């Protein structure tokens, strides 16, 4: 216990409790920053950065210089996020500062509204921050998954909306090529009516929730261009499975892209 005496104040300072609170706060800030910035870092680094932050804050408060907190933040960010690349580190550090200010604002708001204990306040702030970050992350992920898909077969072309589905693991049985899924209406718009009789088709086995197994008509077209937020690329002779109905009930997209087709375009 540290006792700080001034002219009119007397403060009891429990350094073990303070260290734990700063460790938890630092870990929350680092994990939120890593999640928001899609940074790959280990739990060990997050813990080490949190320990560095807690130790530095204890020293600053002990010596009566808590206003030097930015140095603690710099130390914490360096331990957790510096991987030998000085080009990306300033951006990571800037994101950590941004998350810290947001976290502090939410924390102050919660304290003003419900006046909880410090530990409960930290827990509520962490929950609120994770909820907010989760919404941002989900929106960002959806935006990255959306694509413009341009298809060509002979002289016919079609421009459709696509969605990358990491759960789509369909493969053409003989060649092992990845298979994307297109709705029947769009397939007929590209290939024409009665395309099965003119062009022919093969069968692709599939398995989904609620259905033990089934078969979809498969077809290879001349080319496909996938345009994602991260880039675009043409794929020759892609294989499609034709769904008997719409692939999306709201008709927001007409193609479910195989993740390998998205990867070929610099996507997910």
CA distances from 35 to 101, 126, 235 (A): 16, 13, 32
Q: Helix, strand, or coil here: 257? A: strand
Give 210's pLDDT tier (boundaries 50, 70, 90). Answer: low
The full set of domain ranges for the chain reads 2-115, 145-264
> Does the structure show a pLDDT above 60 at 170?
yes
Higher pLDDT, 221 or 228: 221
pTM of the model: 0.48
Token reading at 86? 């000085």
d(CA 31, CA 94): 15
Per-residue pLDDT, averaged over 190-216, amounts to: 79
Residue with tokens 């610099």: 266
Domain 145-264 of CATH type 2.40.70.10:
yes
Other Cβ atoms less than 10 A from the Cβ of 176: the count is 7
The pLDDT assigned to 11 comes to 53
Per-residue pLDDT, averaged over 174-202, amounts to: 88
pLDDT digits (tens, 9 = 90+) for 24-52: 878 888 887 887 776 777 888 888 888 88
The pLDDT assigned to 267 comes to 43
The pLDDT assigned to 234 comes to 87
Highest average pLDDT, of 106-110, 157-161, 226-230, comes from 157-161
> Does the structure show a pLDDT above 70 at 176?
yes
- Cα angle value 157/162/167 (rounded, 5°): 135
For residue 67, what is the DSSP state? G
- What's the mean per-residue pLDDT of the chain? 76
């Amino acid at each position: 216990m540290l006792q700080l005496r001034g002219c009119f104040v007397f403060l009891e300072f429990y350094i073990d409790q303070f260290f734990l609170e700063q460790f938890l706060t630092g870990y929350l800030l680092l994990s939120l920053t890593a999640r928001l910035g899609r940074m790959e870092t280990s739990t060990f680094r997050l813990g080490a950065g949190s320990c560095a932050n807690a130790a530095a804050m204890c020293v600053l408060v002990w010596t009566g210089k808590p206003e030097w907190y930015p140095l603690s933040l710099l130390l914490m960010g360096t331990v957790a996020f510096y991987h030998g690349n000085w080009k990306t580190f300033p951006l990571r550090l800037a994101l950590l500062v941004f998350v810290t200010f947001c976290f502090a604002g939410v924390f102050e708001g919660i304290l003003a509204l419900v006046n909880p204990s410090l530990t409960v306040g930290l827990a509520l702030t962490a929950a609120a921050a994770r909820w907010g970050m989760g919404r941002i992350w989900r929106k960002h992920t959806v935006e990255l998954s959306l694509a413009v898909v341009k298809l060509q077969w002979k002289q016919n072309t079609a421009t459709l909306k696509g969605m990358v589905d990491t759960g789509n693991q369909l493969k053409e049985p003989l060649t092992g090529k990845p298979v994307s899924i297109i709705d029947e209406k769009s397939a007929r718009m590209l290939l024409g009516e009665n395309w099965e009789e003119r062009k022919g088709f093969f069968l692709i086995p599939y398995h989904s929730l609620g259905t033990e197994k089934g078969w979809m008509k498969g077809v290879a077209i001349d080319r496909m261009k996938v345009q994602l937020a991260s880039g675009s690329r043409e794929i020759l002779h892609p294989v499609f499975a034709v769904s008997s109905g719409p692939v999306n009930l709201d008709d927001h997209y007409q193609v479910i892209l195989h993740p390998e087709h998205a990867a070929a375009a610099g996507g997910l």
